[in-house]
Amino acid sequence: MDEWQEGEKMDMCRRRFLVTSALAPLAFTGACSVPPPLTRVGGHLWIGYEPLFLARELGLYDPDTLRLVEMPSSTANLMALATGDVEAATFTLDEYLLAREGGLDVRVILVFDDSAGADVIMSRPGIERLEDIKGERIGVEETAAGALMLAKVLEKTALAPDDVVTVRITGDRHVQAYLAGEVDVLISWEPYATQLQAQGARRLFDSRQLPGLIVDVLVARADALERTPDAFRNLLAGHFQALDYLRTSPDDAFRRMAPRMGMSPDEVRVAQQGIRLMDLAANRGWLAGSHPGLVSSADAVARVMVAGNLLKRFPSLEGLVDPSFLPGSA
C-alpha cells in the first residue's frame, strides 16, 4: 500500500469515527423514553380543597407528573387557568360559570364540597345585624363567589348596591385589611374567617342560609384532559384516598392540614364542620347519569347570577361535567 492509499484509509477511519461519535448521542436519546408532561393544578386556601393537599402530604402524587400549585387567591387561580399556567384549578361553581362565559373550554371533573357555614360575613364589633351594614365598607374579592354572596345579602336586607361601599380585597389580605382598619365588614371564608374571629371580628351571616349556592369544584381545561388523562385519574384517586384517610385517621389528618391553613388542628376540625365533603358516591350523583345533580345546581346558581347582573346571559349547561375521571368509571 502506497503512502497516498494509507493516508486515505486513515482519513476514512477518522471520518467513520467522527460520524459514529456524532450519532451516538442521537442513538442514546432515541433509546430514552420522553418524560410525561407535567400536569399542574392551581388551588388557593379553602377548607374544602384541603383533602387534595392532604393527598400530596401523604405522598400519593408523583411530583414529576402532577404538581399542586398554591395560589394566593381565587382571582390568581382563575388567571392562571385562563393563561394556561395551570391545567386545572379549584373553583366555586359560580366562578366556573363565569369562566365559561369568558370563553374557557373547561369541564368539572370533581365536586369537593357544598359550603354549609364556612363562607362567612365577618364584621367589626358594633355591627350586630345584617341591616347595620348600610353605609359600611365591605371587603370582597372581585370574583363571582364574593359578588354572589354580597348580592344575596343585599337582597335579604333590601339594600341597594349604593348603600354600601365595596372595597376589593383578595382573600389572602383579609386579616391584614381588617387590622389596618381598611374595612368594616368582610365577605370571607375558612381559614380566614377563623383568623378574623381571633382578631375580634364577629360572624354576621354564613352560607348555611344559602343552601346549594356555594359548591366547590375542580375544573380542568378540555385540551389537558385529552392530553394527560392518566394524570387526572391519579389526581382524583389520590383525593378520594385522602378523604378516606381523613375519615379513618382524623387526628393525624388535621395535624397535617393545620400548617398550610395557618390554624391549629382543633381549629381545622371546627372549620371543617362548615362544609359537606363529597365522597365518591356523592360525586357520581353530582356528575354522572342522565340528570347530574351539578347541572341542576348550576341552573339555580346561574339564575341568581343573571338576576344580579353577574352573568350577561343564561349559559348553556351542555358539556358542563365529565365524570369519566372518577375512580371506577369506564
- At 330, is the pLDDT very low, low, confident or very high (cuts 50, 70, 90)? low
pTM of the model: 0.82
User: Mean pLDDT across the stretch 229-234?
Assistant: 96
Percentage of the chain modeled with pLDDT above 70? 88
| CA-only gyration radius of the chain, Å | 26
d(CA 231, CA 225): 9
The grid cell for 136 is 359600611
pLDDT of residue 145: 74
Q: For residue 53, is pLDDT > 70?
A: yes
d(CA 188, CA 170): 9
d(CA 163, CA 22): 75
Q: For residue 4, is pLDDT > 60?
A: no
The grid cell for 321 is 361535567
- At 75, is the pLDDT very low, low, confident or very high (cuts 50, 70, 90)? confident
**pLDDT tens digits, 140-156:** 987 667 888 888 889 88
For 307, residues 6+ apart whose C-beta sits below 8 A from its C-beta are none
Residue among 104, 316, 326 nearest 221 (CA): 104
Look over the chain and give the mean of its residue pLDDT values, rounded to a whole number.
88
**pLDDT tens digits, 261-319:** 999 999 999 999 999 999 999 999 999 998 899 999 999 889 888 887 889 999 999 99
The CA angle 95-98-102, to the nearest 5 degrees, is 135
Q: Would you say 90 and 77 are in contact if contact means Cβ atoms under 8 Å apart?
A: yes
Other CB atoms closer than 10 Å to residue 103's CB: what's the count?
Answer: 8
User: Mean pLDDT across the stretch 225-254?
Assistant: 97
pLDDT of residue 36: 67
For 130, residues 6+ apart whose C-beta sits below 8 A from its C-beta are 121, 153, 156, 157, 204, 205
Domains in the chain: ranges and CATH = 39-115+213-325 (3.40.190.10), 119-209 (3.40.190.10)
Q: Would you say 311 and 101 are in contact if contact means Cβ atoms under 8 Å apart?
A: yes
Q: Would you say 120 and 153 are in contact if contact means Cβ atoms under 8 Å apart?
A: no
Q: Cell 442513538 appears where?
A: 27
Of 15-19, 49-53, 272-276, 300-304, give the lowest mean pLDDT range: 15-19
**pLDDT tens digits, 163-190:** 999 999 988 899 999 999 999 999 999 9
Omega into 191 within 30° of 0, i.e. cis? Answer: yes
Q: For residue 113, is pLDDT > 60?
A: yes
pLDDT of residue 74: 87
Q: For residue 228, is pLDDT > 50?
A: yes
